[in-house]
Amino acid sequence: MRLSWSLGTGNYAMDTCVLFLLLLLSSKPVSATFSCYFPAVFNFGDSNSDTGGLAAAFGQFSSPNGETFFHRPAGRVSDGRLLIDFMVQSLGLPYLSAFLDALGSNFTHGANFATGGSTIRPQNTTRHQSGLSPISLNVQSYQFNDFVVRTQIIRKVEGLFKELVPKPEAFTHGLYTFDIGQNDLTGGLFQNLTVDQVKASIPNILGQFETVVKDVYDKGGRFFWIHNTGPIGCLPFVLEHLPIDERQMDTNGCANPFNELARFFNDKLKDLVNQLREQLPKAVITYVDIYKARYTLISQAHTQGFEHPLRVCCGYGQKYNYNIHVGCGGKVVSKNGKEIFVGSCKDPSVRIMWDGIHYTEAANKWVFNRIVNGSYSDPPVSLLMACHRQ
């Protein structure tokens, strides 16, 4: 007998009770596949999953970021929700507070260590020079380790703060999500490294990623959900500033060499995940092909209800409506001296590119709907089943 079970998040205790009765009533041994119960999500990453870290440290983003869903800038570079928001929502959990956010944060169901511009490797440039965040993955890992220790001290003290931190079991039953690496690749390219030079740095980059995953495992983490990196050769900020030969563009207008670099990174990341599965026997690791999901969206934009796949919604000028000097929410002075606000396009819900680097809520939602059921994952398990070893 095989049970496929879908637990409502609120009624966990009740469903468990029903299940227990079923088990009692059943005379034969039961091999059951139950939805997982993840009491918390701990996320590591860059702007693809930052829900307020960079904004807390370096200042809030300007409008129209957040306009579609939060109706104000909400620490995310998008008009609305990110993949991580749709993920926690589907697990029945609240949106993740950023670890760095001192205001109104509630970490009962997890914490987000991601910041926009984060890389896996520590950088030797300042944020001012390169746009990369000083909060690289190793720093996020220090923050997580401190979080594990101090939240459990706080839990022993009566008072309000106790109600804002996770229970100890959240760390062992929680889902650890990673979405990082994109900026290691683009950061290298923007520092004038060739594609081959960036490729040569990938073993070192992934070695540092491996260290952090193993450290989380040593702290008790068991469930890992790892996103690979997206098609960087389709991003307007790459297309605009790293010009390449027309012959190296694909039929969707994306730059082949940079997408090939992303796929190279992803292949090595997948190899690493396979090694980690052997080295960490109690870990359940799901590898999610975000590249394929995003590239599919871009290449099938029109049949999927989207327009102008590579054209930026919130931007200004040039080929892709993107200009590195005039960002989303900025101001430009036109030739006749008039000030123009760089706002969003008429209908962000039919657009894919938000600001030249980041995706719209509509694109994020489309990608979420594809990845949530496991059809882009290895092994092909859905988010709700990501605690079961295949």
**Is 250 or 378 the residue whose CB approaches ligand NAG more closely?**
378
Q: Which residue has the tokens 């260290």?
A: 211
Mention every residue, 6+ apart, whose C-beta is less than 8 A from residue 142.
none
Q: Name the one range near ligand NAG by CB under 6 A: 17-25, 62-70, 103-111, 299-307.
A: 103-111
Binding-site size for ligand NAG (CB under 6 A) equals 15
Strand pairing report for 31-33 and 2-4 = parallel
CB of 191 to ligand NAG, least distance (A): 5
Site for ligand NAG in 175-234 (CB under 6 A): 191-192
Q: Does 304 bind ligand NAG (CB under 6 A)?
A: no
Residue 380 amino acid letter = P
Does residue 110 contact residue 174 with C-beta atoms inside 8 Å? yes
CA-based nearest residue to 299, from 259, 328, 261: 259
**Is 145 or 191 the residue whose CB approaches ligand NAG more closely?**
191
CA-based nearest residue to 12, from 87, 94, 91, 109: 91
Interface residue with ligand NAG among 33, 275, 279, 369 (CB under 6 A) is 369
**Is 63 or 191 the residue whose CB approaches ligand NAG more closely?**
191
CA-based nearest residue to 349, from 365, 327, 370, 371: 365
CB of 104 to ligand NAG, least distance (A): 8
CB of 108 to ligand NAG, least distance (A): 4
Does 47 participate in catalysis according to the annotation? Answer: yes
Using alpha carbons only, give the angle 155, 99, 89 rounded to the nearest 5 degrees.
Answer: 90
Does 133 participate in catalysis according to the annotation? Answer: no
Site for ligand NAG in 42-101 (CB under 6 A): 94
Choose the catalytic residue: 15, 35, 46, 47.
47
Which long-range contacts (C-beta less than 8 Å, at least 24 apart) are formed by 253-260? 253/309, 253/310, 254/295, 254/298, 254/310, 257/195, 257/233, 258/185, 258/189, 258/195, 258/232, 258/233, 259/231, 259/232, 259/233, 259/234, 259/295, 260/195, 260/233
CA-based nearest residue to 266, from 370, 378, 366, 189: 378
Distance CA 295, CA 272 (A): 23
**Is 358 or 370 the residue whose CB approaches ligand NAG more closely?**
370
Pair of tokens at residue 192 = 């004038």
Binding map of ligand NAG across residues 328-367, x = CB under 6 A, - = no contact = ----------------------------------------
Q: Name the one range near ligand NAG by CB under 6 A: 17-25, 74-82, 119-127, 144-152.
A: 119-127
Q: Name the one range near ligand NAG by CB under 6 A: 53-61, 75-83, 120-128, 290-298.
A: 120-128
Q: Name the one range near ligand NAG by CB under 6 A: 13-21, 102-110, 149-157, 263-271.
A: 102-110
Residue 376 amino acid letter = Y
Does residue 361 contact residue 86 with C-beta atoms inside 8 Å? no
Q: Name the one range near ligand NAG by CB under 6 A: 76-84, 117-125, 248-256, 325-333.
A: 117-125
Which long-range contacts (C-beta less than 8 Å, at least 24 apart) are formed by 8-13? 8/92, 9/91, 9/92, 9/93, 10/92, 12/37
Q: Does 108 bind ligand NAG (CB under 6 A)?
A: yes
Binding map of ligand NAG across residues 132-171, x = CB under 6 A, - = no contact = -------------------------------xx-------
* Contacts with ligand NAG, residue ranges (CB under 6 A): 94, 106, 108-109, 121, 123-124, 163-164, 191-192, 369-370, 373, 375
- Residues designated catalytic: 47, 355, 358
